Amino acid sequence: MTTTTELTGKFMGLPPSELAADQPGRRLWHRFGDLALTLTLAAMVLLPLLEIILRQFSHGIPSAPAFLQHLTLVVGMLGGAVAAREGRLLAVSTLSDALKGESRRLAAIFSGSVAATVTAFLCLASARFVIQERAAGGTLAYDIPIWVVELVLPVGFGAISARLLWHAGETWKRRMAALMVALTLGALMRFLPMPLEQMVWPALAGLFVATLLGAPVFVTLGGAALILFWGRNVPITAVAIEHYSLVTNPALPSIPLFTLAGYFMAEGGASRRLVRVFQALVGWIRGGPAIATALICAFFTALTGGSGVTILALGGLLMPVLVSARFSERDALGLITGAGSLGILLPPCLPVILYAIVAKVDIRDMFLGGLLPGGLLILMTAAWGIWAGRRTKVDRPKFDFAEARNAMWSAKWDLLLPVVSLVALFSGWATPVEAAAVTALYAFLVEAVIYRELKLTTDCPRVMTEAGLLVGGILLIMGVAMGLTNFMVDAQVPDLLANWAAEHIKSRWLFLLGLNVVLVLVGGLIEIYAAIMVITPLLVPVGLKLGIDPVHLGVIFLANMELGFLAPPIGLNLMLASSRLKRPVGEVTRAVLPLLAVMFIGVLLITYVPWFSNFLLKQPK
């Protein structure tokens, strides 16, 4: 069976893993890195669970939250290093995709050398931060010096920088050329005898070009932060400090834990069983396959944390179902592509958690606020599917109670996962992080022990490495983006923007309409985690000035990010559906436009009817 991981690699056009190389030493070193990442994730699951148990008899484990926060730091840097090794750091590449031959190779050298240079400066900033921490003499717990754990920052950035250089060329000659370009760029940044403020815009322009040519998203954000601090003659250590403070946020361990749970489900047989369940329950009614598609995609996206995984895992299963129900290929293609973004507003989806952390909103409130709006978008998508299938002339099967019962019984453990997660989250006996650990353990037991579709010694370590790889890429983006956010806060950009909005925008409804349009465009161009980190701190003060509740604003923001996945010309879902279903991007775009319009109407309803976001918040918890 082709795994989601393999499909992702094929879509991104990634080079073969260096694990396939013949050098035994390199393979051993890579396996050691994968093992370290797997064991750290396992420790992140077990520590909160042990804390829950011991809390029933005593006060729990001393300093357990601090250990867990720093394990998140370790997972982030290890995962980032593995992602760099595999050439799978998250990137938004547009221009490079159109290049061929030697032009593409030269673009790779330039973007790789810029990325390696920026990462080397992040390594330098982190080293200076660790030196300061060592001088301060702080301890983590049990007399463990905190700087020892923080060493993972410069070591990780150093490894990432070296691996970015490695992937800048396919031969040693090209890699040496990339190294020379990187050294030249570093020397210019350090020793060029020009006023710093005059170098800011040329440096940002070069960074922008590198981004278009394929530099990772974290390089773009981290490079911008470094350049802007450098232009103001502020020590670049500030970027490392902000990265550390964000990644060790008390609520952040829930992100890798929920990601791990989603990966266990995605790599097991959950997708196949869930498709059978929803097809049995609603496939017999008019438009039933469309309803099933909307429900299963939303369910899966909420669990895995990303629409990309949903399309890759379910696209091949759902397309034949819709076509056999006599949906046109165009309507089926549009429905699968559009439904793949459903579920981002539903718990325990990762963007909801991240927005809550950045906006300083209670995670439970964000989960409650997103339930009804998420359900509305699912309902409207299913309704469009029913309308699109109105002309299909096919004998609908009668409801088969035995098949529905058997399907639900077969998938009962999969269906219980969101129940387990939500009960743990809202019952009061577990914190959000502990609820995430419970969810991860449950998903592991379901796929590896109950269904036995993941082998303990081979599949589970692979899945945990893949989850850590994704988490590493996300945390790199979040950490360096916090440095850029800090620069904007220091420059009073949010306050200036809020004051400008209060003075010039008298109608908050007009502001929200313009916000919808802008956010859809942003969602189509910028990776969602980067968008949350950079844009949320700008929006929240403006929203407060205009009397918009932060939870409602967050729901609007994330709903527009859902639409952004479908926005032409480079929305992520368009690219993934094109690859997974083997259709040209233009064909996918034309197919999804009607559903994009329907979902935009849904987003307008969510925007202008705050009741959807606020109703459950007013209920007793």
Burial of 610 (0-12, 13-18, 19+ CB in 10 A): middle
Judged against a pLDDT cut of 60, whether residue 12 lies above it is answered with: no
What is the distance between the alpha carbons of residues 333 and 586, in angstroms, rounded to a whole number? 12
Per-residue pLDDT at 456 exceeds 70: yes
> In the 8-state DSSP scheme, what is residue 617?
G
| For residue 382, pLDDT beyond 80 | yes
* Torsion from C-alpha of 580, 586, 587, 591, nearest 10 degrees: 100
Nearest to 443 by CA among 432, 454, 430, 434: 454
Residue carrying the six token digits 């003659």: 233
CB distance 569 to 386 below 8 Å: no
Q: Which two tokens stand for residue 302?
A: 């909420």
CA distance 25 to 22: 9
Concatenate the DSSP letters of all residues of 372-414 into one string: HHHHHHHHHHHHHHHHHTTT----PPPP-HHHHHHHHHHTHHH
The pLDDT value recorded for residue 413 is 92
The domain locations on the chain are: 4-247
The answer, yes or no, to whether residue 14 has pLDDT greater than 70, is no
Annotate 217-254 with three-state secondary structure.
Answer: HHHHHHHHHHHHHHHCCCCCHHHHHHHHHHHCCCCCCH
Question: How far is 84 from 97, CA to CA, in rounded Å?
Answer: 19
Contacts for 291-295: CB closer than 8 Å, 24+ residues apart: 291/382, 291/385, 291/386, 292/321, 293/318, 293/321, 293/322, 293/335, 293/336, 293/339, 293/385, 294/335, 294/339, 294/342, 294/378, 294/381, 294/382, 294/385, 295/378, 295/382
CA geometry: angle at 246 spanning 417 and 496, to 5°?
Answer: 115
Closest CA to 595 of 380, 325, 423, 445: 380
More confident residue, 101 or 477: 477
The closest alpha carbon to 225, from 566, 482, 593, 543, belongs to 482
pLDDT grade for 191, boundaries at 50, 70 and 90: low
Find residue 145's DSSP bridge partners: 139
**Tens-place pLDDT, residues 268-327:** 878 788 888 888 887 777 778 888 888 888 888 887 766 566 777 777 778 887 887 778
Residues 6 or more apart whose CB falls under 8 angstroms from that of 457 comprise none
pTM: 0.82
Q: What is the mean pLDDT of the segment spanning 21-26? A: 60
Task: Return the structure tokens found at 379.
Answer: 């309902």
Has residue 425 got a pLDDT over 80? Answer: no
Residue type, 100: K
- Non-local CB neighbours of 204 within 8 Å, separated by 6+ positions: 224, 227
What is the arithmetic mean of pLDDT over 16-44?
74
pLDDT: which is higher, 134 or 314: 134
Q: What is the pLDDT of residues 398-416, one digit of tens each?
A: 778 888 899 899 989 988 8
Give bridge partners of residue 139 from the DSSP assignment: 145
Q: What is the DSSP letter of 139?
A: B
Distance between CA atoms of 32 and 85, rounded to whole angstroms? 13
Segment holding 436, helix H or strand E:
helix 432-444
Tokens of 556: 């609007």
Indicate if the pLDDT at residue 22 is higher than 60: no
The yes-or-no verdict on residue 422 having pLDDT over 70 is yes
| Average pLDDT along the chain | 82
Burial 410-441 (b: 16+ CB within 10 A, else e): bbebbbebbebbbebbeeeebbbbbbbbbbbb
Compare 189 and 126 and report the one with higher pLDDT.
Answer: 126
Q: At CA 375, angle to CA 550 and CA 621, rounded to 5?
A: 55
3-class SS of residue 309? helix
pLDDT of residue 13: 36
Q: Does 316 or 144 have the greater pLDDT score?
A: 144
pLDDT in tens, 94-115: 566 667 778 888 888 898 999 9
pLDDT at 129: 94
Among residues 41, 243, 265, which one has the least CA distance to residue 123? 243
The three-class DSSP label of residue 59 is coil
Give 254's contacts (C-beta < 8 A, 6+ positions apart).
348, 353, 363, 432, 433, 435, 436
